[in-house]
Structure 1
Amino acid sequence: MTNRTISAILSAFLFLYINPGSIAQTASQEDPLLTVGGKPVSRDEFVYLIGKGSNSDANTPGLSREEFEENLDLFINYKLKVREAEALGLDETTEFKREFASFKESLKSPFLIKNSLEDGELRKAYSRMQEVIRASHILFQFPPNASSEDSLIVLKMALKIKQEIQNGGDINALAVEYSDDPSAKINKGDLGYFTALQMVQPFEDAAFTLQPGQVSDPVLTSFGYHIIKVQERQPNPGQVQVSHILVRVDETNPNSENQARRKISDIYTEIQKPTTLWEDIVKNYSEDPATSKKGGLLPWFSVGNMIPEFEMAAFSLTEIGEVSPPVKTRYGYHILRLENKKPIDSFEEMEDMIRSRILRDSRSTMIQSQVLAIQKARYGFKENEANVEKLRASLNTKKKNEFRPEITALGMGASNLFTLKGKAYSTEDMLIYMETDEVSPKTKGGTFDIWYDRFAGELLAQIEEEDLEANNKEYSMLLKEYRDGILLFTLMNEEVWQKGIQDSIGQRAYYEQNIRDYQWGERVNAFIVKVLDINKLEQAKSRLQGNAYSESLVNEFEEFYKSNDPLAYQTQSGLIEIADDPILSKADLSKSFQEIEADGHLHLVVVGAKVPPGPMAFEETRGPVIRDYQEYLDEQLIQSLRKKYPIKVNKSVKEEAFIALNQ
């Protein structure tokens, strides 16, 4: 059984009418609502399950006494079945354990610290994506194998240039002179437009804190120190699709620049003529082999995906079909035409992409560091710094198989590493973990820091999961709901559903005992022809009128119309129950042929012999019998369980539940 929730499962058995108001959580927690065979069932569980179908509208009435009692009775039946499933050991089967473990693994994710931090980063990134920034920068790289003195010299240089910019210096001119970014000689430090997740995180964080005209302090990234000046901030224009014409410039030919400029100018003039077809111009003149045969069409792109000059020209076009003036890029000269545009996608549409990119950049390390810090604070992590430092000094260059001998030589086999929730963990605990843990090859030759962090991290994660079940009410309720739902489904499948389908002797016995419930009303042999094409009415009447009902009449008419006019008619024939048929219930059954108007169509009816009311044959009603037999088995199961497991209801807690569901 997979992809099943208790909400779906219970709908077949539980809570026929649920429409309470908001649920109070203030009632007594000590006493159970009821006991099932001595096993307590909490008031909170009952209120929670009914509350899942609640309507938060304050104007919607809560449960009446009658509805409350009905739902309590159904809840008791549900808990009886779960109790029986446990008694039968269904919660100890391999299949149950596998499915429950799988659900538990998927359920815990939204409740973990990591998920809430990730979600915060996702939302922050998407919020930033609503804007695009145009910025310039100057990069100051460190020399190879830089010392701390070297780093300080680079930082002082960055601060000096920042001051020069603030004193009125042109960042673009200064970028050409000082920037270690190789592209600065061409773009003068102008990065064009970008949005979230298109720059390394420290650079992005700094840029999004600046307003147009502001200059950052030196920003440290893996590339070096950056001085950033934001030129513009604008709403994100979303995505565009353009087609283009390209005229290349041959850098080895000194005349190529002028030739390309004249050619693109002539093409632009030609495009302005009303009789000119864009596709023809692209095919004849564009020098982009990838697009010239398909009208110059490029894939959709957003800000930051194209070179700045091309991108700015594309996003400056506002009307579909609008053509840009010639644009110079490092590839040559372009003319662009806007083909389509659309706004930025919704958060839900972009969530997977954003998550993937965040987990690939430095944010993932930052998130993990924050998770560990929160876990350590929450669960009382206290490190024995002296022991850890001593082990680090001795083991940080050792391989995995050298740890135990080295620790033994140090006499630190039982030394305390840290305490967690008041429990001490020693070097021996870490060694056992190392010896039983399956690790990637790159970690097998790792250091003390790798193993220590891994050991502590997994313990913290384990304790967080245990803490969820013990202290997070929503999580524990969902977990119990699904657990009991699996047991309920398994029991019902074995004792009711499959038994009802497979027990042919029981089915027939039930049918014979309840034959009065499987009776035909008055029936008649009839042939009903629904005329879909009114022009074919007379053709049908001529074949039916004046003829008695017979199988040969039906067969001959159906063979005729299916061969000649298959769309002209719809037919129904056989022994039909009169009262349940919308056509025959209107018919004068004393006439052998008649025309009846219904549902906007004319129906031709040929009536034969009537058959009086009588019992249905077992084969005729096997489906309804199986359904009713399953209901009977369910009722019998409940009766037997109520005898097997006595029910005791705490009246005062029951009243608390009623009040909670009506507040």
Structure 2
Amino acid sequence: MTNRTISALLFTILLAFEFSIPAMAFVQTSGQDDPLLTLGTKPVNKDELIYLLSKGSKSEPGTPGMSREEFNENVNLFINYKLKVHEAEAQGLDLSEEFRREFESFRENLKAPFLIRNSLEEGELRKAYSRMQEIIRASHILLQFPPNSSTEDSLSVLRMALKIEEDIKAGGSINELAVTYSDDPSAQVNKGDLGYFTALQMVQPFEDAAFALQPGQVSDPVLTNFGYHIINVKDRQPNPGQVRVSHILIRINESEANGEDLAKRKVADIYTEIQKESTIWEDIVKNYSEDPASSLKGGMLPWFTVGSMIPEFEMAAFSLTEIGEVSPPIQTRYGYHILRLEEKRPIESFELMEENIRSSILRDSRSTMIQSQVMAIQKSRYNFDENETNVAKLKAELNTTTKAGFAQVLTSKDLNSDQLFTLLGKSYVVQDLADYMAEEEINLRSKAGTFDAWYERFMAAELNKAEEADLAANNKEYRMLLKEYRDGILLFSLMNEEVWQKGLMDSVAQKVYFEKNIQNYQWKNRVNAAIIKVLDMTQLSAARALLEGKPLSDELITSFENSYQTSNSLVFQTESGNFEYSDNPVLSKADINKSYQELEVNGHLHIVLIGEKTKAGPKKFEETRGFVIRDYQEYLDKTLVESLRKKYPVKINPKVKEETFIALNQ
């Protein structure tokens, strides 16, 4: 576990401890009111207290509000919290490199849900999951562009695609036309039939076009990185989810003239054998299947969804309905298969699939599309204005340079001060781009050229900075969340240094504290005893014979436990040791002067053996060190707060305090 993770965990625990009283839903209030408190000379606004108290609260309508007593207690805890943060700042803990790294790491995670990109990504995630509720069967014809194609070449391919579209709409068969015209190599085998697929299994433009069609409809030419596609949707069905099958594979020996006939006869014989009641599927798989990856595992294959396997195999698998049902032999390009259904399950919830969907989206063209949309919104929102004339000139001058030679070319051609764009009224010049490139420890490769690649990256970075600055300045929820985590890290650092580590590591101070407060670490009257709960009453006589009339000792209890644990560990439950008997539910009912007795407590018979008694008295330090450390840390915390209240006198504004109380109870 990293230090950052530990800090985050302890910070969460800290806030839960500091603000333990339930509160109301977050109430928006004006931001520039008189302060609720001043700590020394530092003002603290009431909105911060309202935010912390209401964080995570889900009060139902009609729920009683916070009582005056609860409110006052929370105000007091809030003051202690802010005093510690103030002291951490006074000690310069917010200026340390460790704090900077940790806070920056938190900031990156905290800002993500508030960014424009997040809302666009969320929309794509939901759209993809919505589409995944269906599967589509479609055929297509692909027309690719010739190598190094010109504009006229591209237009020629488009004209051919439009002609094929007309032929299909006039009644032509897309599957027959695919054999003649499609540049998809698989069309010669599948005649353009892609089988069933769902969202995120095709490139985005193809998927968008297919999901916009109803069965029987034909698309206009769809442009993807592969070329132009004509798509004909054949069927749409609800997504059947996932399936798991085991299989037997019989391969076709292509080197033999009658290889296919031999494979067909062999798989037919195996299928006949499977029909016999005495046949064990796993044995048949082991003996005959020619799939080395699965034959020793009963033919078991991983879970798969529609669009994950070759169409013939997939259709056979999803057509099975009963667990254990076996399919007739089917042929694929791998040979002949017999399938057995092992399990089926529906499509998973959005929450379970969200990360996988996100990962798929970020790997395909949707990621580029989202980034383009983000930049378009940022440019509009933050008054971005590009100097198009200069940018066009700089592309021509700088695209052929390298990163290493970029700055030198700028100087030699006197381009350093050429303007690139303005953003929020600030002008950015080529030297700013050069400085950015020098700070980045990566090399970008782009077909467009060095300037294009780095200019796009630089522009995106500055737009992102503008968005984050806008968040910090104008989004109250984000600003409060950021402050909460900043103060939380400082609180953790101060408490770790002044309370937790000091209380844990200073053994001398622990003993001094223990001796000063010895009255808090006292044993009550104790007795050495064994308590045996009888779970099987038929074994009571045997227990009596072993225990009654014998003095209590470790050897006696060990011998008794060994006598039954090897045969039946559920006959008795044994507990032994030195007990404060007045607090023990069984011993408090026992006669401490009687060495053997049987007592019924809470519906169970207990055998009680009584040994040596010890009078009340002080505990040894080693016996209670854990409690001493806990108490000593609480003492250090209390002492710290007392010293901080003297160092930073607290003044509360009664009027604002009352306004806060009213706001929380609205």
- Report the TM-score when normalising by structure 1: 0.91
Question: Measured at CA, do residues 195 and 589 of structure 1 come closer, stay the same or move farther in structure 2, by a change above 3 Å?
Answer: same
Q: Match of 1:44?
A: 47
Establish whether residue 626 from structure 1 lines up as the match of residue 626 from structure 2: no
Q: 1:532 to 1:215 in 2, by over 3 A?
A: same
Residues 1:389 and 2:401 aligned together: no
1:560 aligned residue: 559
6, 9, 13: which one aligns with 2:13? 9
For 1:418 and 1:597, the matched residues in 2 are separated by 87
- Stretches of structure 1 lacking an aligned partner (at least 5 in a row): none
Aligned in 2, Cα 1:293/1:405: closer, same or farther, shift over 3 Å?
closer
Of 116-125 and 383-392, more deviation after overlay is shown by 116-125
Residue aligned with 2:316, SS = helix
* Residue number in structure 1 paired with 2:208: 205
1:284-311 CA-to-partner distances (Å, cap 9, x unmatched) read: 5544454445443333222112221221
What does residue 95 of structure 1 align with?
Answer: 98
Helix, strand or coil for the counterpart of 1:245?
Answer: strand
2:653 to 638, 650, 655: 650
Q: Could you list the per-position Cα deviations for residues 64-114 of structure 1 after superposition, in whole angstroms to 9, with x for gaps in the alignment?
A: 111011101110011111111111222222322222222222322333222
SS of the aligned residue for 2:336 comes to strand
Q: Which residue identity lines up with residue 24 of structure 1 in the other structure?
A: V
Q: Corresponding residue for 1:351?
A: 354
Structure 2 residue corresponding to 1:194, chosen from 193, 197, 202: 197
Structure 1 residue 596 and structure 2 residue 599: aligned? yes
Match of 2:120 among 117, 121, 127: 117
Q: In the alignment, which of 429, 432, 452 is matched to residue 432 of structure 2?
A: 429
Query: How far apart are 1:440 and its partner, in Å?
Result: 1.7
Identity among equivalent positions (%) equals 66
Encode CA deviations 1:446-493: one digit per residue, 9 max, x unaligned. Answer: 432222222222222222223322222222222211221122222222
Q: Which of 373, 377, 381 pairs up with 1:374?
A: 377
CA deviation profile, 1:523-548 (whole Å, cap 9, x unmatched): 3454444445544434443455455x
Listed as ranges, the matches of 1:118-517 within 5 Å are 118-251=121-254, 255-283=258-286, 285-404=288-407, 406-408=409-411, 410-440=413-443, 442=445, 446-517=449-520
CA distance in 1, matches of 2:611, 2:303: 68
Amino acid at match of 1:658: F
Checking the alignment, whether the CA contact within 8 Å between 1:23 and 1:662 is kept in structure 2 is: no
625-634 or 31-40, larger mean C-alpha shift? 625-634
Distance 1:436 1:621 in 2: 56
Whether contact under 8 Å (1:5, 1:482) holds in the other structure is no
Q: In the TM superposition, what whole-angstrom CA distance separates every residue of 1:475-521 from its partner, at most 9, and x where no partner exists?
A: 22222112211222222222223333344554444444444433333
Measured in 2, the distance between the counterparts of 1:575 and 1:462 equals: 65
Matches of 2:548 and 2:261, distance apart in 1: 91
Q: Tell me how far apart the structure 2 counterparts of residues 223 and 609 of structure 1 sit (CA, whole Å).
A: 89
Amino acid corresponding to residue 44 of structure 2 in structure 1: V
Hey, what does 1:80 align to over in structure 2? 83
* d(CA) in 2 for partners of 1:173, 1:239: 32
Q: Does the aligned pair in 2 maintain the 1:6–1:485 contact within 8 Å?
A: no
Matched AA of 1:557: L
Counterpart of 1:8 in structure 2: which amino acid? T
Shift of 1:251: 4.8
User: Measured at CA, do residues 556 and 463 of structure 1 come closer, stay the same or move farther in structure 2, by a change above 3 Å?
Assistant: same
What secondary structure sits across from 2:325 in the alignment?
Answer: coil
8 Å contact kept, 2:444–2:454:
no
Q: Give secondary structure in 2 for the equivalent of 1:80.
A: helix
Which deviates more from structure 2 when the two are superposed, residues 247-256 or residues 458-467? Answer: 247-256
1:605 corresponds to: 608
1:191, distance to aligned residue in structure 2 (A): 0.8
1-structure distance, mates of 2:628, 2:489: 27
Q: Which AA in structure 2 matches 1:333?
A: Y
For 2:4, give the aligned amino acid.
T
Name whichever of 129-138 and 267-276 sits farther off: 267-276
Structure 1 residues 378 and 159: alpha-carbon distance in aligned structure 2, compared to 1, 3 A threshold: same
Deviation at 1:276, TM superposition (A): 4.1
Q: Is the 8 A contact 2:31 2:47 kept in 1?
A: no
Q: CA deviation at 1:608?
A: 5.3
1:393 Cα deviation (Å)? 2.2
- Distance change in 2, residues 1:161/1:66 (3 Å): same
SS at structure 1 position matched to 2:366? helix
Match of 2:59 among 56, 59, 81: 56
Preserved contact between residue 527 and residue 554 of structure 1 (Cα < 8 Å) = no
Gaps of 5+ in 2: none
Q: Which amino acid aligns with 1:9?
A: I
Tell me, in whole angstroms, the C-alpha distance in 1 between the residues paired with 2:585 and 2:359.
59
Q: Distance in 1 between matches of 2:113 and 2:177?
A: 49
Deviation of 1:203 (Å): 0.9
Kindly provide the amino acid, as one letter, of the partner of residue 554 in structure 2.
N
Q: Is the 8 A contact 1:21 1:57 kept in 2?
A: no
CA contact (8 A) 1:138 1:175 kept: yes
Q: Secondary structure at the match of 1:108?
A: helix
Which secondary structure does the structure 1 equivalent of 2:369 belong to? helix
Deviation, structure 1 residue 381? 0.9
Q: Residues 186 and 104 of structure 1: is their aligned pair in 2 closer, same or farther, counting only changes over 3 Å?
A: same
Contact 2:11 2:492 in 1 (8 A): no
Quick one: distance in 2 between partners of 1:266 and 1:605? 72
Q: Tell me, what secondary structure is at the counterpart of 1:225?
A: strand
Report the counterpart of residue 111 of structure 2 in structure 1: 108
The residue matched to 2:583 in structure 1 has which SS? Answer: coil
Separation in 2, partners of 1:167, 1:499: 86
CA distance in 2, matches of 1:287, 1:5: 53
Aligned residue pairs total: 658
TM-score, length of structure 2 as denominator length: 0.91
- After superposition, the C-alpha distances for 1:541-571 in whole angstroms (9 at most, x for unaligned) are 3455455x6xxx4134124324433446555
**2:306 and 2:314 in contact (8 A); partners too:** yes
Kept after mapping to 2: 8 A contact 1:596/1:602 = yes
1:182 to partner: Cα distance = 2.0
Shift of 1:419: 0.6
CA contact (8 A) 1:399 1:445 kept: no
Letter in 1 for 2:633: Q
Out of 243-252 and 216-225, give the one that drifted further. 243-252
